[in-house]
Amino acid sequence: MNLDWTPADLAFRDEVRGFLTAELTQEMRTATAKMTSVYAPVALSLAWQAKLHARGWAAPDWPQEAGGTGWSPVQRYIFTRELTEAGAPPLSPMGIGMCGPVLIGYGTAEQQAHWLPRMLNGDDLWCQGYSETESGSDLASLRMKAVRVSAPAADGGDHFVCTGHKLWTTHGHEANMIFCLVRTAQLAKPQQGITFLLIDMTAPGVSVRPILSLSGEHIQNYITFDEVRVPAANVVGAVDDGWTVAKYLMEFERGGSLYSPSMRTRVARLHRFLAAEGAGTNGMTRRLSLIIADIEALDAFELQSMSSLSLGGAPGVKASMLKVLGTELSQRLTELELEGAGPYASAWQPHLTTPGGDVPGFDPPGDNSGVGSSYTAKAMPKYLNDRAGSIYAGSNEIQRGILWQNLERSAR
């Protein structure tokens, strides 16, 4: 098997590198290197998205007719790797990475024409409304209710009145749109009677309360909906069949991104830090070697998954495998990063890092001084934030169940 890049691949890589040299500022690179969460601060993310959109590169995974690039899987892989190695900030995934593919797959022509361009140019910032207090991985038990009301056009036309709440809503305090799963009927199976609905976060009756993470960052939120009116035209797919749409979206949430390039970059930084500090033990070196081997295996699997997507398929059951492998591998890496940071990791120094959101109650020193480096300062919050990786987007226990069920069906 020939794994060398072709001359065309190398030319594309050089084109991407030229773009990054011209557009990715040192301030952006520095901020990205200090990130403590998988989410970049909204202002940083949107600033970088604007540069990508101007080049036509904001949504490489979308079909070309919807505003995508038309790149091959190899080009998309090269693009992602080059961005990661250059230190480019990640984009908010809820719009372009999740809701966008759903609208392309299930939305009407009118919905696509309205929402997709606004996702690309950053006019709309999206958040996800799935989990509730007693509905996390068991998402089909959700209770947020949406009652359909018929009305003449003069009164706004047919609409749904939504009442309930959503939990763990990332950047819900900054988003102006949310895609929600709501209960529109009580039917035989809990997965039935659920509808996928797009809701304006500025509508009357929507309120947002912060949830602070263990790292002190305000990224997540508790959102309540008190008789919020939503146009019936904002239903994606069929009423009462939102579970089908949600399963499609979750495939992209779990398996639509690449884990291996960013982890390669983190491994290289850890190597440099340990060498510079003379830190590390034989045990750490062995564990790091095992992580590197697993990253290489994950990289090969991600390429295989990207190839399937390029042929028009969805991630399918591979999404569950990628989610388990990627999140648990990242958690193992945070453990080594934390161990390498040593006692410096115990100091709470958000001002030396790039949190994913505001850190309420923290008063940084006037001279911005601290102990250790930004690398050691972010080790603890990164470790704490990564604990959620095996829970969000469906817990890894759920993903293993999906994989087992698929294996059983294949064996029949």
Q: What is the pLDDT of residue 322?
A: 87
d(CA 330, CA 337): 10
pTM across the whole model: 0.90
Torsion of CA 192, 176, 213, 253, to 10 degrees: 50
Local confidence pLDDT in tens for the 412 residues of the chain = 455 788 999 999 999 999 999 999 999 999 999 999 999 999 999 999 999 999 999 999 899 999 999 898 788 889 988 999 999 999 999 999 999 999 999 999 999 999 999 999 999 999 999 999 988 878 899 999 999 999 888 777 899 999 999 999 999 999 999 999 999 999 999 999 999 999 999 999 999 999 999 999 999 999 999 999 999 999 999 999 999 999 888 766 555 567 888 899 899 999 888 888 776 667 788 899 999 999 999 988 887 776 666 566 655 677 788 889 999 999 999 999 999 999 999 999 999 999 999 999 999 998 888 999 999 999 999 999 999 988 887 788 888 998 888 887 877 7
143-184 per-position pLDDT tens digit: 999 999 998 887 778 999 999 999 999 999 999 999 999 999
For 124-245, CATH gives 2.40.110.10
Q: What is the pLDDT of residue 198?
A: 98
In the chain, where are the structural domains located?
7-91, 124-245, 258-356+371-411
Q: Are strands 206-212 and 218-231 parallel, antiparallel or unpaired?
A: antiparallel
Nearest to 228 by CA among 112, 144, 168: 144
- pLDDT for 1: 41
Contact status, residue 269 vs residue 334, Cβ threshold 8 Å: no
Residue 46 is predicted with a pLDDT of 97
Q: Which CATH number among 3.40.1260.10, 1.20.140.10, 3.30.450.40, 3.40.630.30 corresponds to the domain 258-356+371-411?
A: 1.20.140.10
* 124-245 against 258-356+371-411: fold identical: no
pLDDT single digits (tens) 375-389: 999 999 999 999 998
Contacting residues for 191 by C-beta, under 8 A, at least 6 apart: 140, 243
Give the residue from 98, 119, 36, 109 showing the smallest Cα distance to 251: 98
312: three-class secondary structure by DSSP? coil
Q: Which CA distances in Å does 134 have to 106, 139, 151, 172, 185? A: 28, 9, 33, 19, 18
- Category of 2 on φ-ψ map: left (φ > 0), alpha (ψ -120 to 50) or beta: beta
Pairing of the two strands 235-236 and 159-166: unpaired
pLDDT of residue 107: 97
Q: Which pLDDT value is given to residue 155?
A: 77
Structure confidence at residue 19 (pLDDT): 98
